[in-house]
Amino acid sequence: MVKYKNYSYDQGVFLPVYFDRQILPGTFEYSLNHLIDNELDIAFFDKRYKNDETGAPAYDPKILLKIVLFAYSRGITSSRKIAQCCEENITFMALSANTRPHFQPLLILYLT
């Protein structure tokens, strides 16, 4: 009789994920992350937001820019697909600091 390893779908696993450790030096995503955080001045986006006193907090344009540029480098151009990647792909989660932006802010970034 054939023997199989035992398994159970009822078993849970706690896996700690450190997003800063998911972006490895020497990779494109590391360079992109460093470039946007340290080299680019994107303060011009701040003028477009008018939520100082009222309104919900906005997604940081740096995060949106990182995930959009990374998605484009992978051939992903749909804002809905990019939003899905932020929920399913660990590299997108790391670049977005697990903020999981909705597709509409991504679409607005395209239009600015």
pLDDT at 111: 52
pLDDT at 33: 93
Mean pLDDT estimate for the chain: 84
Burial 8-37 (b: 16+ CB within 10 A, else e): eeeeeeeeeeeeeeebeeeeebeebbeebe
In the structure, what pLDDT confidence band is assigned to residue 105 with cuts at 50, 70 and 90? Answer: low
pLDDT at 106: 58
Domain boundaries of the chain, sorted by first residue:
24-48+61-111
pLDDT in tens, 27-79: 999 999 999 999 998 888 777 777 777 777 778 888 889 999 999 999 999 88
